[in-house]
Amino acid sequence: MNFCSNCGSPVVSAIPPGDHLPRFMCSSCGAVHYKNPLLVLGCVPQWEDRILQCRRAIAPRLGYWTVPAGFMENGETMQGAAARECYEEAMAQVEIGSLLAVVNVTHASQVHVMFRARLLAPVFAPGAESSEVELYAEDQIPWEELAFPSGDFTLRRFFADRAAGREDYHFTELARPLRP
Amino acid sequence: MNFCSNCGSPVVSAIPPGDHLPRFMCSSCGAVHYKNPLLVLGCVPQWEDRILQCRRAIAPRLGYWTVPAGFMENGETMQGAAARECYEEAMAQVEIGSLLAVVNVTHASQVHVMFRARLLAPVFAPGAESSEVELYAEDQIPWEELAFPSGDFTLRRFFADRAAGREDYHFTELARPLRP
C-alpha cells in the first residue's frame, strides 16, 4: 500500500493512538487502513462413496488437484461461500453439511474453513478455474498431486472420520509453506 | 474507495475479466482491489461456574456488556486472536478450548467465531476498551444490556450446552441488525 484509498495522498506506516500494531495511515486525511486475514471456504462434496476433486486450470498450483474452495465474498455466509465455490469450480450443486476442518494458514494470513457436503446429483463439469473434475474413491485420491496442504489435511481427516463413523471438526495451523 | 492504493490514480467499479462481481479497479495501473469479510474472534472465559464479561468503554454500544472479542490480525491463528483479545480487553489469561459459535453477520460482512475458554486464574482488570470486567454466574448475566446479538447467541448456547454436559458448536446467521 502506497496511497490512501480515501483521498489519494501518500500513506505512512505508524502505530495509531490507542493501537498496538503499525498500520498504513494517510499523511493527509488521517484514514487508517487495516489489513486482516482472508477467509477461504471450501467443501468435500460426496456422492455415494466418492468425493469430488478439481484439477486447477489457474495459478497457483496449476495442474494440481484440490477440493473446491475459494475466497469468501462480502455478504455471504460461510456455508453460502462454500456452496458457491463448488458451483463455480465444479458446476456441481451441494448441500453443505457439518464443519470438517479449520486451517490457520498464518504465513499467508488466511483461514481455510472446510465443510462436508452432499452432492445433490452426480452432475459436474469443469468451471472456469478447473481443467478436470472427477469423483474419486478414497484409494484413487492423487495424494502426491494435491495443490495445497490445507486440502491434504482436510481429505485425511475426512476419510479418517468417515471410517470411524464420526463427523468431528479439526483445527490445525500451517505456519509456513510446505513448498517454499 | 476512491483511489488506487498502489499508484494513487482514481478507481472505477467494474467486473474484471473472468470475475463475476464488480470490484474497485485502477484506471491507470489496472490493480484490482478486493473487499472481503472480516473475522471477529472471541471467547467465553470460565472460572469455576462464572464467566467473564466486559463493559464496553468505546463505541459502538458503549456501556453495554460483551464477551471479549475483536478483529483478528494478520499472522494470527483464530485461537491466538481470541486469547489476545481477552488479554487486551480484560487483562486476563486464558486457555482456549472448544469451538462454541460461528455467527455469519452477513449485513456487516463479518464472521464472529467464539470459543470456550478457561481462565488460568481469577485475575482480570479493564483493558483500554473496557470500563468494567466482571465474573458473572448464569443468573447474573445482564441479558438486556448485552452489546451485540452475536454475544447473546454465544452465551445462550454456552449455558444450554453446559447444562446438558455438551460442548457442541453452533452456526447461525444474523442477516440484519437487531437494533437498526
pLDDT digits (tens, 9 = 90+) for A104-162: 999 999 999 999 999 999 999 999 999 999 999 999 999 999 999 999 999 999 999 99
Q: Is A104 helix (H, G, I), strand (E, B) or coil?
A: strand
B60 upstream amide cis, omega within 30 of 0: yes
Residues of chain B contacting residue A102, judged by C-beta atoms under 8 Å apart: 78, 99
Q: A73 and B21: CB-CB below 8 Å?
A: yes
Average pLDDT estimate for A19-29? 93
pLDDT for residue A7 is more than 60: yes
Alpha carbons A108 and A106: distance in angstroms, whole number: 5
pLDDT of residue B20: 87
| pLDDT for A179 | 55
The answer to whether A73 faces chain B, any CB pair under 8 Å, is yes
Does A1 contact B at CB distance below 8 Å? yes
Task: Supply the pLDDT for residue A3.
Answer: 96
Residue A132's alpha-carbon distances to A47, A90, A117, A151, in angstroms, are: 17, 8, 19, 17
Report how far residue A29's alpha carbon sits from residue A9's, in angstroms, rounded to the nearest whole number. Answer: 8
The verdict on B59 touching A (C-beta cutoff 8 Å) is no
Lowest mean pLDDT among A6-20, A33-47, A102-116, B62-76: A6-20
Q: Provide the sign of the torsion angle of the four alpha carbons B155, A169, A119, A130, taken in this order.
A: positive
pLDDT in tens, A59-107: 999 999 999 999 999 999 999 999 999 999 999 999 999 999 999 999 9
The secondary element (H helix, E strand) that includes residue B14 is: strand B11-14
Per-residue model confidence (pLDDT) at position A176: 74
Any chain B CB within 8 A of the CB of A71? yes
Q: Give mean pLDDT in consecutive 10-residue pieces for chain B, a chain of 180 residues.
A: 95 91 94 96 98 97 98 97 98 98 97 98 97 98 97 98 98 76
Any chain B CB within 8 A of the CB of A75? yes
User: Within an 8 Å CB–CB cutoff, is residue A72 touching chain B?
Assistant: yes
- Cα–Cα distance list, A95 to A151, A166, B132 (Å): 19, 18, 44
Chain B residue with minimum CA distance to A97 = B171
A-chain residues near B6 (CB < 8 A): 1-3
Select the residue of B6, B11, B79 nearest A2 (Cβ to Cβ). Answer: B6
Of B115, B112, B86, which is closest to residue B100 (Cα–Cα)? B115
- CA–CA separation, A67 and A86 (whole Å): 8
Nearest alpha-carbon partner for A88 in A116, A120, A140, A130: A130
Of A3, A8, A35, the CB nearest to B74: A35
Within 8 A of B77 by CB-CB distance, chain A residues are 104, 106, 173
CB contact under 8 A, B99 and A99: yes
How much is the pLDDT for B180?
47
Would an 8 Å CB–CB cutoff place B99 in contact with chain A? yes
Q: Which three cell numbers stand for residue B49?
A: 461456574
Cα distances (Å, whole numbers) of residue B120 to B87, B92, B117, B127: 12, 8, 9, 17
Test mutation, A171, A172, A174, chain B, max B CBs within 10 A: A171
Give CA angle at A143 (A140, A149), nearest 5°.
Answer: 140
Cβ of A33 under 8 Å from any chain B Cβ? Answer: yes
